[in-house]
Structure 1
Amino acid sequence: MSPRELAPYLLSDQATLREAIERLDAIRGQLVVIVDEAGRLRGSLTDGDVRRALLRMTPMEACVDKAMNPDPVAVRPGHNPAEIQAELNALGASQAPVVDREGQVVGLYPEHYGETGPRDNLVVIMAGGRGARLAPLTRHTPKPMLTISGRPLLETIIQRLRDQGFGRFRLAVNYLAEVIEGHFGDGSAFDVEISYLRESEPRGTAGALALLEEPIDGPFLVMNGDVLTRLDFGQLLAFHGDHDAAATVCVREHRFETPYGVVETEGHRLVSIREKPTFRWFANAGIYVLGPEALKQVPTSGHYDMPTLLAALTERGDTVGAFPIHEYWIDIGRPPDFDLARSDYEAVFAAPGQ
């Protein structure tokens, strides 16, 4: 690996978490190597390190050392590749910096990692809602079929998943189902396999899962049909597997800076006052991974929402993971969201390499 090829994978130990996220996104890799001004190894940062930091509510402007691994696996130049790979496998690492005797980073092993291959995981997309908040746009068009940059939203979702290796789709449909089925058919025109979970009545954000007829023997994706994102779904599946979860829900951090001083009281006494504080919380992003056991909680009839399913799993002691999204994400639920998605599309999705 030449210095020019290596440069995008190196990041200064003075960089912020935001800059680290932008670098990871730019290289579409698993690993950024943190170095000092002399190019010596200081740490490493993976997608998992970033998401753990976000779950700790680490500020985006914090120094990268608040998120990095300060004691990463490193290998020496010239070592036997089979021995290096065996060491990485034993340590559960996929990639490591190559460091010379002076501690300077001179390469990566393997040089390229994470090529996307076919995935057998099923994808269920909830596309049956009425989209009432987007009326009159949804009077004759189901919300997932509203066009963004000349293409239905649902088509963009399916094509992005296809490009990440997913090929088996089940679309839960109800409102104006014929519009969706007429456009996608069996999926062959889009190089995927598509069939339909036809709701005779609205079943909620999880109820349609009871209509799955095929055996499910591994984790599968579930997502709302009005979500546009640049999420790496492979990393989501890896996170789900690493935590041995029954379900994993994607979450998105939201912030609100109140324009007022917030006063805390006890009876008639003032306890504290905070001037215009910022409140931070995680919101459900409408994207999930479920394991086969989760399906057994879904009733065969009636309305059933995903929060109810997740609560049922938690109550019985199953692990429900939270996967923070730092990539572009928007829920197209209201007219302003739709307008924003249309204005964002070219810059976020249509640029080369996106």
Structure 2
Amino acid sequence: MNDILVTNETTLMDTMKILDQSAKQFIVVVNEENKLQGTVTDGDIRRAILRGLPLNIPISEVMNPNPIYGFSKRTMEEHRLFMQQHNVKQLPLVDTDKVVRDVLFYENIISTKRRSNTIVLMVGGLGTRLRPLTNDLPKPMLPIGGKPILENIIMHFKSFGFVNFILSVNYKKEIIKNYFQDGRSFGVTITYIEETERLGTAGALSLIKEDIDEAFFVMNGDLLTNTNFEQLLDFHLVNQATATMCVREYEYQVPYGVIEVNEHKLASIVEKPVQKHFVNAGIYVLEPEALTYIPKNQYYDMPELFNCLIQQQKDVSAFPIREYWMDIGQLKDYERAQLKYKEKE
């Protein structure tokens, strides 16, 4: 338990490090007497990043100061029912003086169930920028650590209990279909939609024949990431979004001094400033309703869908990815991904 306890004065940066080191993805904030002050979840951290808060602020400015907690003297069955009633996955346990005695995790009480949410993987691209590697193989089948990129993606989803996949195929589709077939040998279920013409990152969704009645994932099939898909889905559901886009922070340095003017007067000169922006990371969670806005059999990209939903005043969320993420778009990216995998071995 001590590995997930921090004090009010612990910085946001240090809390992030502790959160990442812990497999529990949950932090309890206490005072000098070990009394409960608040809690911090992965979602709290990501919302702080979206707000642009500095990393040196105390975690007390980010934490939930009124967390749900239980009393350590109660039975395990009482804790289980209490967590179900309040729909919480983590429960700090305190004594009558509100001193933290333990932290209970719902996943340790019940066995993990397979999740029914569908994952749609876009794997029909030509991989033009990766030629000659893609002359004979579709890009998602290029090996990373001895396994195709696509297999790495599927197995990462599976590690969170997601086992229902739809692959949107086109270029050299038979290679993908012959390798994965119905997914049974990988412990998952796989069906396919086939693009006879280029339909973009959203247009292919109009070809789905399965009935989708709950939130589902859409992801580009050329990404490598350690994103926690369980947390992504929770974030989407908690925010009651029609669509959620994963975003990455991208920064670049302007190679010149940037001038600010006030009418004819020079107001300031900032030498080679660093600009920061959030960019599309190619991973999405959509509600079934979003499918109704996609035109049938037309080229349509995911940013167009999101702009449409925004114009329709639907709730659209951004989920910042803090974990490892790489788009295998060019040869240098593929080489970097190979090196990154070797570092993890």
Shift of 1:93: 3.3
Contact kept, 8 Å, 2:127 with 2:139, in 1: the verdict is yes
Which one of the candidate residues 58, 68, 71 is aligned to 2:63? 68
Shift of 1:100: 3.2
Deviation by residue 1:228-254 (Cα, 9 ceiling, x = unmatched) = 111111111111111221111111112
Q: Could you say which residue in structure 2 is the equivalent of 1:129?
A: 125
Aligned residues: 344
Contact kept, 8 Å, 1:229 with 1:330, in 2: the verdict is yes
Q: Could you say which residue in structure 2 is the equivalent of 1:336?
A: 332
- Equivalents in 2 of 1:115, 1:269: separation in Å? 67
Contact kept, 8 Å, 1:127 with 1:173, in 2: the verdict is yes
Structure 1 unaligned blocks of 5 or more: 1-5
Please state whether the residue corresponding to 2:196 is helix, strand or coil: coil
Please state whether the residue corresponding to 1:169 is helix, strand or coil: strand
Q: Could you say which residue in structure 1 is the equivalent of 2:28?
A: 33
Q: Could you say which residue in structure 1 is the equivalent of 2:315?
A: 319
> RMSD over aligned Cα, in angstroms?
2.3
Q: How does 1:135-146 map onto structure 2 within 5 Å?
A: 135-146=131-142
- Equivalents in 1 of 2:35, 2:201: separation in Å? 50
Deviation by residue 1:183-226 (Cα, 9 ceiling, x = unmatched) = 11111111111121111111111111111011111111100001
TM-score calculated relative to the size of structure 2: 0.91
State the AA in 2 paired with 1:183. Answer: Y
In the alignment, does 2:53 pair up with 1:52? no
- Equivalents in 2 of 1:208, 1:250: separation in Å? 19
State the AA in 2 paired with 1:28. Answer: A
Question: Comparing 171-180 with 67-76, which one deviates more in the overlay?
Answer: 67-76
- Equivalents in 1 of 2:82, 2:177: separation in Å? 50
Q: Could you say which residue in structure 2 is the equivalent of 1:10?
A: 5
Please state whether the residue corresponding to 2:293 is helix, strand or coil: coil
TM-score calculated relative to the size of structure 1: 0.89
Q: Could you say which residue in structure 1 is the equivalent of 2:261?
A: 265
Q: Could you say which residue in structure 2 is the equivalent of 1:161?
A: 157
Q: Could you say which residue in structure 2 is the equivalent of 1:227?
A: 223
Contact kept, 8 Å, 1:30 with 1:95, in 2: the verdict is no
Contact kept, 8 Å, 2:245 with 2:319, in 1: the verdict is yes
**Residues 147 and 221 of structure 1: CA distance in aligned 2, closer, same or farther (over 3 Å):** same
Q: How does 1:114-263 map onto structure 2 within 5 Å?
A: 116-263=112-259
Structure 2 unaligned blocks of 5 or more: none
- Equivalents in 2 of 1:87, 1:196: separation in Å? 42
Q: Could you say which residue in structure 2 is the equivalent of 1:79?
A: 74
Which one of the candidate residues 14, 22, 32 is aligned to 2:17? 22
Contact kept, 8 Å, 1:250 with 1:287, in 2: the verdict is yes
**Residues 111 and 302 of structure 1: CA distance in aligned 2, closer, same or farther (over 3 Å):** closer
In the alignment, does 2:93 pair up with 1:98? yes
In the alignment, does 2:302 pair up with 1:291? no
**Residues 76 and 195 of structure 1: CA distance in aligned 2, closer, same or farther (over 3 Å):** closer
Contact kept, 8 Å, 1:127 with 1:144, in 2: the verdict is yes
State the AA in 1 paired with 2:36. Answer: L
What is the percentage of aligned positions where both structures have the same residue? 44
Contact kept, 8 Å, 2:73 with 2:95, in 1: the verdict is no
Q: Could you say which residue in structure 2 is the equivalent of 1:3?
A: none
- Equivalents in 1 of 2:56, 2:339: separation in Å? 27
Shift of 1:48: 1.5
Contact kept, 8 Å, 2:207 with 2:297, in 1: the verdict is no
**Residues 198 and 242 of structure 1: CA distance in aligned 2, closer, same or farther (over 3 Å):** same
- Equivalents in 1 of 2:48, 2:310: separation in Å? 23
Shift of 1:179: 1.4
